[in-house]
Structure 1
Amino acid sequence: MNESTNVIDISKIIETNRGIIYKVVNSYCSHINEQEDLMQEIIFQIVKGYKNFDHNVKVTTWMYKVAFNVAISYYRKLKTRQKHMIPMPSKIVVIDERETNEYDERIPQLRTFINEFDALHKAILIMYLDGNSHKEISSAMGISVSNVGTKINRIKTQLKKKFKQ
């Protein structure tokens, strides 16, 4: 496979699965500048890593793995950087979800609950809500399939409690 074919392939893969990148970015960053930076870094790492992509693995699972690894690293760097920054007013970009056809008033509440989870649990929940199998989540997160099942059950229990409150 030549280099131009790889560029076309990875471009199509990114375009087809851009929702994965969007979900991860929006789960880890709320400021538009941070979102753009993280999105660029994820895409860069996907393009960079494509030459080593194991085509026996589902492309979406691989993309999740890359995106979450980049997001977690980015988030850690951001937290370290924030320790040394002077607080300044910031503009938060909020998309009004009520503009979509499938608006559910529980979505903002669910996002609030998701943000309370640590990075691993957040990643597992996002992949689970996106319909990925336990095996795919296991592969992307580097934990056993049974561990994924256990964590998902615990997450569900926590969310049920939070929604009842």
Structure 2
Amino acid sequence: MSAEFYQEYIENNRAIIARICRAYTDNEVDFQDYFQEVCLQLWKSKDNFRQQAKLSTWIYRVSLNVCLSLVRKKRQDPKELGPAVENLSVPPRPVEDPQQRQLELLYRQIRQLKEVDRALILLYLEEKSYEEMSQILGISVSNVGVKINRIKEKLKKQLHGKV
């Protein structure tokens, strides 16, 4: 992996990759694995980027696809890591900052959404346009709007009284 590739694709888009990986993992070990796999797949598929969309849009798409694939693979074979690692989970750290506590609660609720809904709400929180969300997820713009409204209502109900 060249330094140029690392800077342009990974370092400049680290926040995007991290947010997506964080939404699909619930512990630090999985987060690191997902992040590393996304970086590897970006590197492997860099020649497939046709520059028909923004680089960040393509990175979102690759990151989401990798995370969704890993979630599905893990669901099909939860013992793939073996019994010693299977239940390994980093206990949540006590959070002093109320804003950080709210953010962690939001991510916990987002992780409970269906896979596609998770992807949509992440893109919404990134303030992506409905058109961009449509391109990334391969669904119609009107479907994006309908789904976003339903997800926001569901999250409001889940978070009511918890924030």
Shorter-chain TM-score range: 0.7 to 0.9
1:67 aligns to 2:63 (yes or no): yes
CA–CA separation in structure 1 for the residues paired with 2:133 and 2:89: 34
- For 1:92, the aligned partner's letter is V
Q: Mind listing any 5+ residue stretches in structure 2 that lack a counterpart?
A: none
CA–CA separation in structure 2 for the residues paired with 1:96 and 1:67: 29
What are the equivalent positions in structure 2 for 1:10-21 lying under 5 Å apart? 11-21=7-17
- For 1:90, the aligned partner's letter is L
Post-superposition offset of 1:10: 5.4
Superposed CA deviations along residues 28-75 of structure 1, whole A, max 9, x for unmatched, are 112322222211110111111111112120111111110010001001
Q: Mind listing any 5+ residue stretches in structure 1 that lack a counterpart?
A: none
* Counterpart in the other structure of 1:92: 90
CA–CA separation in structure 2 for the residues paired with 1:97 and 1:51: 42
Secondary structure of the 1:139 match is helix
What are the equivalent positions in structure 2 for 1:1-165 lying under 5 Å apart? 8-9=4-5, 11-82=7-78, 86=83, 89-92=87-90, 94=92, 98=96, 103-165=99-161
CA–CA separation in structure 2 for the residues paired with 1:9 and 1:34: 24
Superposed CA deviations along residues 7-34 of structure 1, whole A, max 9, x for unmatched, are 6245323111101110111111123222
CA–CA separation in structure 2 for the residues paired with 1:34 and 1:105: 21
- Where do 4+ consecutive residues of structure 1 move more than 6 Å? none
Structure 1 pair 162–105 and aligned structure 2 pair: CA distance change class (3 A): same
Post-superposition offset of 1:89: 4.7
Structure 1 pair 104–34 and aligned structure 2 pair: CA distance change class (3 A): closer
TM-score where L is the length of structure 2: 0.84
Structure 1 pair 164–151 and aligned structure 2 pair: CA distance change class (3 A): same
Structure 1 pair 104–93 and aligned structure 2 pair: CA distance change class (3 A): closer
- For 1:114, the aligned partner's letter is I
Is contact 1:97–1:103 with CA below 8 Å preserved after alignment? no
Secondary structure of the 2:77 match is helix
